[in-house]
């Protein structure tokens, strides 16, 4: 192979891994890793820039609470209203790439090489990727979103089933129910998991097959070449840290609000910033214990506990709720989703600005801001899977589980709203908007509500812990230059500051601030992911199949 080919980062298929490995060894000298006085394995300047910026952000947000709230709110509104088309088109590209990898010969490439075998069973693997990917979100939005879309924001021209006085319009009910569920599944189905799959596959491919560090910059070797180990790579990793931290903070904020509301609903604990701050501190402390135990002893165990508790609650809702309607609704909801996915995916030519800008563009930015965290976490536990197996399990199966969850929780809540105007869900979603209470309102109108509400609170908290500890491991890996065994003190630092960022955003602007930072960090990282799509195809073409 010629030096010119190697320098361009375009290796031939037979020598691909060797050439990239050689270039990595050359470029590795440019990545300075220092062990400082506090036993921090620092990847300069990624750790210093991201760490100092986060510390400054927390300080300034807490110091100027009154001033930053309106700024966060204006930032979120501008981004979602002016860049909605960009987020929606990008999401479509990620889905199309994943589907193409399933059906093309590239799907036969094995992550880690032809002889690699999986490190985890299907149950353990699936539990970790699902709990890390959407746990808190499903708890918060599982009841809220289907009811809200049906009643208020049914997109693409579907009318509300209620008139101005709140009375049912029978002829509108069927279409509004179908669209409410289709719109919800659209936000929790193929698109978010395709975003995660793109990042996870790219990281796994360039780490396990090409011998590069497990960090975001490695994905861009086919584009940057040796400059990957310089400032272009530093910028990519710093953006990944910011996106991950603020995406996690958004989810932790949602979790704290819902856990606080649940504790108030069951035990009368006061609702407010003080209680939510105490919750974040307490749960961050538990997450620290899990972080110290590592991936297998902490995250994996908690993820499997999560899955079992969630499965119990899901089965209870199915059998205690309108079982027949839910079973038939699962299939009709899949049909509604398949029918509406293309209209809902259109970035232009629609009049439902509130749905597209207030929901879809925020969701896509949120998923993208989560993608370094979830993607790297999935990559770490996915060695030995073929690309086709990987995409099917990361894309298709979680989408089906999301449909089951939304059908059970959202479908039960919709039936409660339509059959009883005095239902708790009607009270908390339609009559007065208290989204954090929507889950507990639905459970309140089912048997054993005092028990299931406690289970709901526990599940929110355990999902909270799982997201925090797995996120800390990922950020730690990025800032340590791809190392998975960085010093414990560094993981403690990131876990602590995840909680502090969530507290700062809650105090400084509430839900609007959380959403604003997820969107603002999601925008630049969308560009990173679009470039990663090219790198994935380039990398897979160089692999033996």
> What is the 3 state secondary structure string of 455-493?
HHHHHHHHHHHHHHHHHHHHHHHHHCCCCCCCCHHHHHH
pLDDT value for 533: 96
pLDDT value for 196: 92
pLDDT value for 528: 92
DSSP state of 43: E
pLDDT value for 32: 47
| Residue 214 to residues 65, 354, 477, Cα–Cα distance (Å) | 37, 39, 7
Coil, strand or helix at 24? helix
DSSP state of 265: H
pLDDT value for 19: 39
Give the residue from 470, 368, 449 showing the smallest Cα distance to 128.
470
pLDDT digits (tens, 9 = 90+) for 288-341: 877 776 655 556 677 677 778 888 999 999 999 999 999 999 999 999 999 999
Q: Are 434 and 261 within 8 A, CB to CB? A: yes
pLDDT value for 61: 83
Rounded to an integer, the average pLDDT of 236-254 is: 85
Q: What are phi and psi of 164, to 5 degrees?
A: -60, -25
Euclidean distance between CA atoms 455 and 485, whole angstroms: 35
Which residue reads 């060894």 in tokens?
A: 25
| Complete domains list, the chain, with CATH | 1-29 (no CATH), 31-541 (1.20.1740)
One-character DSSP codes across 377-388: HHHHT-TT-BHH
What angle, 0 to 180 degrees and rounded to 10, lies between the N-to-C axes of helices 397-419 and 170-188?
150
* Residue of 63 and 449 predicted with greater confidence: 449
pLDDT value for 88: 95
Q: pTM value?
A: 0.85
12, pLDDT greater than 60 = no
- Comparing 77-91, 272-286, 357-371, 498-512, the range with the smallest average pLDDT is 498-512
Which residue reads 């980062």 in tokens?
A: 9
Euclidean distance between CA atoms 409 and 442, whole angstroms: 8
Neighbours of 38 (CB within 10 A): 10
| Residue 11 confidence class, pLDDT cut points 50, 70, 90 | very low
pLDDT value for 131: 58
Element of type H or E holding 508: helix 488-541
Could you give the maximum distance between any two Cα atoms of the chain, in Å? 76
Neighbours of 350 (CB within 10 A): 14
Give the residue from 493, 499, 501, 461 showing the smallest Cα distance to 475.
493
- Comparing 2-6, 410-414, 484-488, the range with the smallest average pLDDT is 2-6
352, pLDDT greater than 60 = yes
Q: Length of the chain in residues, anyone?
A: 545
Q: What are phi and psi of 415, to 5 degrees?
A: -65, -40
What percentage of the chain reaches a pLDDT higher than 70? 86
The mean predicted confidence, pLDDT, of the chain is: 83
Q: Are 138 and 306 within 8 A, CB to CB? A: no
Backbone region of residue 116 per phi and psi (left: phi > 0; alpha: psi in -120 to 50; beta: other values): beta
Structure tokens at 210: 């090409």
Euclidean distance between CA atoms 463 and 282, whole angstroms: 14
Neighbours of 427 (CB within 10 A): 17
495, pLDDT greater than 90 = no
């Amino acid at each position: 192979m010629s030096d010119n080919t190697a320098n361009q980062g375009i290796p031939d298929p037979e020598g691909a891994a060797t050439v990239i490995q050689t270039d990595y060894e050359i470029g590795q000298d440019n990545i300075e890793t220092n062990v400082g006085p506090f036993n921090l394995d620092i990847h300069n300047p990624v750790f210093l820039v991201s760490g100092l910026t986060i510390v400054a952000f927390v300080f300034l947000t807490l110091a100027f609470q009154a001033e930053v709230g309106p700024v966060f709110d204006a930032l979120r509104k501008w981004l979602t209203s002016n860049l909605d088309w960009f987020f929606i088109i990008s999401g479509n590209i990620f889905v199309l790439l994943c589907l193409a990898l399933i059906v093309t010969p590239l799907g036969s490439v094995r992550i880690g090489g032809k002889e690699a075998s999986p490190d985890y069973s299907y149950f353990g693997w699936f539990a970790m990727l699902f709990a890390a990917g959407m746990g808190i979100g499903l708890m918060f939005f599982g009841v809220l979103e289907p009811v809200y879309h049906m009643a208020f924001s049914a997109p693409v021209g579907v009318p509300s089933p209620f008139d101005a006085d709140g009375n049912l319009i029978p002829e509108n009910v069927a279409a509004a129910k179908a669209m409410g569920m289709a719109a919800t599944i659209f936000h929790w189905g193929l698109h978010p998991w395709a975003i995660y799959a793109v990042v996870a596959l790219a990281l796994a491919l360039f780490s396990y097959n090409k011998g590069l560090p497990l960090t975001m910059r490695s994905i861009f070797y086919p584009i940057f070449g040796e400059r990957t180990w310089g400032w272009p790579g530093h910028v990519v990793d710093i953006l990944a840290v910011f996106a991950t931290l603020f995406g996690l903070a958004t989810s932790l904020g949602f979790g704290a609000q819902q856990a606080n509301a649940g504790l108030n609903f069951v035990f009368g604990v006061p609702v407010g910033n003080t209680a939510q701050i105490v919750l974040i501190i307490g749960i961050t402390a538990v997450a620290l214990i899990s972080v110290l135990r590592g991936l297998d002893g902490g995250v994996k165990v908690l993820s499997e506990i999560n899955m079992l508790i969630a499965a119990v609650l899901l089965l209870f809702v199915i059998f205690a709720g309108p079982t027949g309607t839910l079973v038939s609704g699962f299939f009709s909801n899949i049909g509604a989703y398949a029918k509406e996915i293309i209209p809902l995916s259109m970035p232009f030519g629609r009049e439902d600005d509130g749905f597209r800008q207030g929901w879809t563009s925020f969701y896509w930015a949120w998923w993208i801001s989560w993608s370094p965290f979830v993607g790297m976490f999935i990559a770490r536990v996915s060695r030995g899977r073929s690309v086709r197996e990987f995409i099917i399990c990361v894309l298709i199966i979680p989408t089906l589980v999301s449909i089951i969850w939304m059908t059970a929780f959202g479908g039960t809540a919709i039936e409660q709203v339509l059959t009883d105007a005095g239902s708790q869900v009607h009270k908390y979603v339609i009559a007065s908007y208290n989204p954090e209470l929507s889950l507990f309102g639905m459970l309140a109108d089912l048997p054993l509500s005092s028990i299931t509400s406690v289970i709901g609170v526990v599940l929110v908290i355990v999902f909270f812990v799982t997201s925090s500890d797995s996120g800390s491991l990922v950020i730690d890996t990025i800032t340590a230059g791809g190392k998975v065994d960085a010093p414990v003190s560094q993981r403690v630092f990131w876990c602590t500051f995840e909680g502090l960022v969530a507290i700062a955003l809650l105090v400084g602007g509430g839900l609007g601030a959380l959403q604003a930072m997820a969107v603002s960090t999601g925008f630049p990282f969308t560009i990173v992911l679009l470039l990663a799509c090219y790198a994935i195809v380039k990398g897979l073409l160089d692999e033996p199949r």
